[in-house]
Amino acid sequence: MAGKSKETVEVIVDDIVADPELIEEHDPELQELILGEWNLDAAIYSILVGHGITVGYLKDIDDAALSEIFSVIKWTGHKYALRKKLQSWPESSFYSTNASHEHGHTSSTSNPGPSNHCLLPSSVTRSHLEDVLERNEKGKIVRNYYEKHHQLDTEHKKYLAHTIVDYYIANDRYFTLTDMARFAHYIVERFPSELAEIYFNPRDNSIGKKHPSGLLYDRFHNRNKKSLLERKRKSNDDIDHWKEYEAKAVALSVEDIERQNCHKNWLRNNQQPAEKVTQLWKESLLLRMRTIVQDTEVDKKNVLAEWPRLTDENGYLLIDADFCSIYGELGDLSNIFNVWEGFVERFLQYVEQKGLNDDYSRELYSRLHETNIPKDSRDFICCTIFHGIVKPVRTSSRKLPTILQAQTDMCYACKTEQDFSEAVAELRDEYEANAVQFFPRIFVIGGTEHLFAFYVVTAKFQYKLPSFLRCIDLVVKLKFVLNYNFPESCELFWYFVAKLFYNVGYSRKARNSQLLQLFAYLKDG
């Protein structure tokens, strides 16, 4: 668990197990190993990532470290389930230990010299501390300062803790609480003016929670948190693609800007011929991305003013073009349409297995059994009852949306064209008054048994589309082309669609336990 200041109450791992949405950073490599390859309980992943464990640390964990991590009695079963997997994992220290026992080998107890010494769990000695100090320039500064002043000031105390922790990080070793306690002991031996509790206190009750603290503990978990954040940034497919084009946009030469400005000016004043519009639109992508990146207006007013073709009746075709340019093969328009039918069949089997608890979802689901239900109505029902299966989670404001709120934020159903016009006007006024973004929202018109019109609407444009599924496709692309937000109430749905059909991951909600179960079910099928 990432270290916090004494003024901040830490997120308790037990709470994370109960609500995985409390996890601030995820480790894709660890979650793939625990949930994918080993098929262990999602709670085990939550506990590990909550303690800052990575795959690298997992390789060298011993029984003492496991006991520290799974310290709660009700987690004992999780601990032994994980230990069993570690015993059959060739990269694990458990596997190596078992293998050496089986072959009658014993490990060497000799202490290697500074050039090849490697810190292992539960092996800390006074010589290890000396080795670490000798290897690091900050360590040498700490020794020299102490020899001169016979004490360490605040800055040099931090230098000492950082030197030890950074050595563990560099060697990809998990810094167990046992090792922290031993280093704190040997620090006092080496620097008698110091107090062990400054570097590691196993039971700090100062904020009302029994948890470890100290410079070693805080430094290690803060460093590990940064490492997790970096891996998270690198693992997000959309950021990789977007950043690549953003970098190109920033690096445009003066000549390129002038040339693409000519394209932009032509596009602002011409809607035909369509072939030339499409050609110049593609050739001006980087200049357009500069506008998108720089636009701080919540409803993209500046982008739409600079590039008014987006507000045309068929402006969504230009969104398609930009998505294909940025995401390459992921931008293949036919992907979701080719695999949708197979998904619907499998998803409805999952719904039948899980069951629905809210009345509206159950009512919609019952209509799927009616004969000759139109495809658009079926697709609307499937996407709406999704929120009854994968229920909304708390938003950034810690509010818990209702299932109905998530359903209407995803798609607003109107009976007539007049109802549609009034609903759009009312929502636009409401969002503008509150100075928040009118996120892309689907509107359908008609009764559930017969939907006859489909729209995607924002504060400044609306597109009429041929089908409900085409609306789903476009909302995803608006997110990854114009950088619109998804509403938090139904973000799990949009993450699911983006990841399953476009292989674009973006969200901190990626490892929601409900989604993990659904992805696993679909994968098995």
Please tell me whether residues 355 and 479 are part of one structural domain: yes
Residues with Cβ within 8 Å of 360's Cβ and at least 6 positions away in sequence, in order, are 388, 403, 404, 407
Please tell me whether residues 427 and 496 are part of one structural domain: yes
Over 70: is that where the pLDDT of 183 sits?
Answer: yes
Residue recorded with tokens 């800055």: 155
- Output the six-digit token pair for 243: 């950043």
What b/e readout covers 218-249, taking b as 16+ CB neighbours within 10 angstroms?
bbbbebbbebbeebbeeebbbbebbeebbeeb
Nearest 10 degrees: Cα torsion 132, 138, 144, 147: -70
What is the SS3 string spanning 160-173? HHHHHHHHHHHCCC
Q: Could you tell me if residue 46 is inside a domain? A: yes
pLDDT value for 207 = 47
Over 80: is that where the pLDDT of 18 sits?
Answer: no
Q: Could you tell me if residue 99 is inside a domain? A: no
Give the rounded distance of the alpha carbon of 477 from its chain centre. Answer: 19
| pLDDT digit string, tens, across residues 271-329 | 888 899 999 999 999 889 888 877 778 888 889 999 999 999 999 999 999 998 888 65
Would you call 68 exposed, middle or buried from its count of C-beta atoms within 10 A (0-12, 13-18, 19+)?
middle
Q: Could you tell me if residue 19 is inside a domain? A: no
Q: Could you tell me if residue 5 is inside a domain? A: no
Please tell me whether residues 461 and 362 are part of one structural domain: yes
Is residue 415 within 8 Å of 445, Cβ to Cβ? yes
Over 70: is that where the pLDDT of 475 sits?
Answer: yes
Please tell me whether residues 320 and 188 are part of one structural domain: no
pLDDT value for 282 = 92
Final residue of a domain: which of 66, 88, 110?
A: 88
Please tell me whether residues 132 and 206 are part of one structural domain: yes
Q: Could you tell me if residue 118 is inside a domain? A: no
Is residue 72 within 8 Å of 16, Cβ to Cβ? no
Q: What spatial distance separates the first Cα and last Cα of the chain, rounded to whole Å? A: 35
Residue 336: pLDDT band by 50, 70, 90 thresholds? Answer: confident
Please tell me whether residues 350 and 439 are part of one structural domain: yes
Residue 208: pLDDT band by 50, 70, 90 thresholds? Answer: very low
Final residue of a domain: which of 172, 207, 235?
A: 235
Query: Is the N-terminal amide bond of 273 cis, ω within 30° of 0?
Result: yes
- Output the six-digit token pair for 130: 């000396």
- Smallest CA-to-CA distance from 44 within 87, 73, 82 is with 82
What is the average pLDDT value for the chain, to the nearest integer?
Answer: 80
Domain coverage including residue 135:
126-235
Please tell me whether residues 252 and 400 are part of one structural domain: no
pLDDT value for 464 = 96
Q: Are strands 201-204 and 441-447 parallel, antiparallel or unpaired?
A: unpaired
pLDDT value for 525 = 63
Rounded distance, CA 464 to CA 456, Å? 7
HSE-up of 314 (CA within 13 Å, CB side)? 7
Q: What share of the chain is helix, strand, coil (3-state, %, to 5)?
A: 65, 5, 30
pLDDT value for 227 = 52
**Axis crossing angle, helix 215-235 with helix 154-170, rounded to the nearest 10:** 50
pLDDT value for 172 = 63
Final residue of a domain: which of 203, 235, 267?
A: 235
Q: Could you tell me if residue 396 is inside a domain? A: yes
Is residue 218 within 8 Å of 252, Cβ to Cβ? no
| pLDDT digit string, tens, across residues 31-69 | 888 888 898 888 888 888 777 788 878 887 877 778 778
Question: Looking at the whole model, is its pTM more than 0.75?
Answer: no
pLDDT value for 348 = 94
Is residue 173 within 8 Å of 65, Cβ to Cβ? no
Average pLDDT over residues 188-203: 88
The DSSP code for 231 is H
pLDDT value for 113 = 37
Is residue 2 within 8 Å of 222, Cβ to Cβ? yes
Please tell me whether residues 58 and 201 are part of one structural domain: no
Please tell me whether residues 460 and 363 are part of one structural domain: yes
Percent over 90 (pLDDT), the chain: 33
| pLDDT digit string, tens, across residues 339-395 | 899 899 999 999 999 999 999 999 999 998 877 889 999 999 999 999 999 999 888
Please tell me whether residues 295 and 356 are part of one structural domain: no
Number of H helices, E strands in the chain: 27, 6
Residue 455, beta-bridge partner list: 443, 464
Greatest distance between any 2 Cα atoms in the chain:
89
Over 50: is that where the pLDDT of 522 sits?
Answer: yes
Residue 465, beta-bridge partner list: 454
pLDDT value for 327 = 80
Instruction: Please tell me the total count of domains within the chain.
Output: 4
Q: Could you tell me if residue 16 is inside a domain? A: no
pLDDT value for 276 = 93
Rounded distance, CA 198 to CA 508, Å? 34
Please tell me whether residues 353 and 501 are part of one structural domain: yes
9 vs 337, more confident: 337
Is residue 245 within 8 Å of 293, Cβ to Cβ? no
Q: Could you tell me if residue 93 is inside a domain? A: no
| pLDDT digit string, tens, across residues 109-162 | 333 333 333 343 445 778 888 888 887 778 888 999 999 999 999 889 998 998
Rounded distance, CA 484 to CA 297, Å? 11
Rounded distance, CA 286 to CA 477, Å? 17
| pLDDT digit string, tens, across residues 232-247 | 444 444 445 666 777 7
- Output the six-digit token pair for 444: 């359908």
Please tell me whether residues 371 and 454 are part of one structural domain: yes
Give the Cβ contact number of residue 192 at 10 Å: 10
Q: Is the dihedral of CA 498, 429, 312, 270 positive or negative?
A: negative
- The continuous run of DSSP H or E covering 278 comes out as helix 274-283
Would you call 165 exposed, middle or buried from its count of C-beta atoms within 10 A (0-12, 13-18, 19+)?
buried
Residue 508: pLDDT band by 50, 70, 90 thresholds? Answer: low
HSE-up of 437 (CA within 13 Å, CB side)? 18
- The continuous run of DSSP H or E covering 411 comes out as strand 411-414
